[in-house]
Structure 1
């Protein structure tokens, strides 16, 4: 085992030092694929394909791929299997991000830690997905599966902003944004609870969370309004700072408002499948925009701190 690891390390060491653009491009690809795997998971759920492959890691006992079966529709099998295949793509890109970070030999070890978290997180997600299937899509296992994706999207966004470039300070987050980040976590958690009580469980036979959907939707909406209110307060604070990241702030506000609008239309129209998938993608977009502002504020603070003091 040690000799194989040594051989692998030797091969990685022979890879030419990567450029900034290559590292940044792969890091962005990590964000995109992490967000898309959450959306494909939503497609699996709304099409009732969650148990199209009823076991894990095999699709069927004795077969890694879909097979004809009288109890499982072929389309549902391939939708679920396609999601599993895409997980492999996500994993390959995550590994590539780690290899590039390792070859860069960064002085900022945080960059390397974030890069390591990408393939490790994909592996953990795969295991969570397997447990979810083996427990027949119990609502709370599906919720954990989705929340793990939200964490990965957040970390992947931090990875993008951690890619080293010359002597520019990297974003590490700001204490100011702890409150909005905490409220966003509340939005996401309550959102999974709404999903758990809603009509799309991934399989028609899956038991649902036994709480009225309307009640959970109102709690979810309350978190969203509070989150939006906290962003307004952040905007007032940014007015008094040097070089505030206004563009990131405006993008975040626009994404949050659009996501809220999708949620309202979704609620009023009986939770149609297409809007559910778009809502999940919108949630990933909100996470990316929030994490980008988090890093942007910290980068601005770092730049100000590095400026020489006038006497």
Structure 2
């Protein structure tokens, strides 16, 4: 019991009396949660559970939780409801991150703004999820629902990175052309994600057997997606070689190597699922790989500059209680 109480106290203090280390940990939980929800969203699609809960915000009729329905299987309802519940978990982490950033002393204003964006973005994601259900999984709304997650990850990764550095004026560690190359790489990665939603919206995994699909030729959109992916790989290799030849910091080179490894694994997985007829489990892995690629690309940007040491954490001043004065 004492160990459990001690663990709960530490968890409370990580939020209410945060340190830079505890804020970094909470920010990392935000990154992991938003990456995980992409995988569970993929599971919803490939199991045809997108309308397992046919209503929103309630699941069915007047029930917030799944109930018996002759039109929707219990497994499909559980999968969709589970994905909705994970959204609330990610929202809770976002709120805790914001509270910790607000309570951190000295208060670092940009960290508060990065943290505030997380719960607000999750709420927006939930609203878009409702639109997806109400439009009966229209591919455009489903694509938007997916793309909000990479957009939200920008805030999550930025907070994770900023919590690990100081507040000095950014000192660039590489030449301007290298920074521009890294920005081009992030733009290419974003294009791959967008094209990937078109491929998924054209392919067989609609989330429900009766849902609309894009009217494109699947082979054509797959080629466009593949071409953008190879451009991204080429930019990453060029960036890695440039970082090595210019003597860039070890952290920056390590991030580039990590991204190359993820891209090669993701590319191999993409070709395997294409030639195997897009099996459902590989689709989920490919969606998770896309998000990991995006996170790795964003981390390169923060490895190309230095903002000094992390400020020392100060204790949050306790509230002063004045003794009641006699009448």
Question: Alpha-carbon deviation of 1:273?
Answer: 0.4
More deviation in 107-116 or 171-180? 171-180
Alignment of 1:5-44 (within 5 A): 16-44=16-44
8 Å contact kept, 2:137–2:206: yes
Whole-Å separation in 1 of the counterparts to 2:130 and 2:78:
16
Query: Which residue in 2 is equivalent to 1:6?
Result: none
Query: Which residue in 1 is equivalent to 2:74?
Result: 74
User: 1:52-109 CA distances to partner (integer Å, 9 max, x unpaired)?
Assistant: 0001000012110111111111110010000011111100001101110011155543
1:266 aligns with 2:255: no
TM-score normalized with structure 1 length: 0.88
Aligned length: 288
1:100 aligns with 2:100: yes
User: 1:136-184 CA distances to partner (integer Å, 9 max, x unpaired)?
Assistant: 0000100000000111123211110011556677799944421111111
SS in 1 for 2:303: helix
Query: Which residue in 2 is equivalent to 1:226?
Result: 231
Whole-Å separation in 2 of the counterparts to 1:172 and 1:130:
43
Alignment of 1:1-311 (within 5 A): 16-105=16-105, 108-163=108-163, 174-238=179-243, 239-244=245-250, 245-299=252-306
8 Å contact kept, 2:115–2:155: no
Whole-Å separation in 2 of the counterparts to 1:243 and 1:80:
44
Whole-Å separation in 1 of the counterparts to 2:78 and 2:101:
35
Question: Alpha-carbon deviation of 1:281?
Answer: 0.6
TM-score normalized with structure 2 length: 0.83
Whole-Å separation in 2 of the counterparts to 1:115 and 1:171:
24
Whole-Å separation in 2 of the counterparts to 1:39 and 1:298:
32
Question: Alpha-carbon deviation of 1:236?
Answer: 2.9
Q: Which has the larger radius of gyration?
A: 2
More deviation in 115-124 or 149-158? 149-158
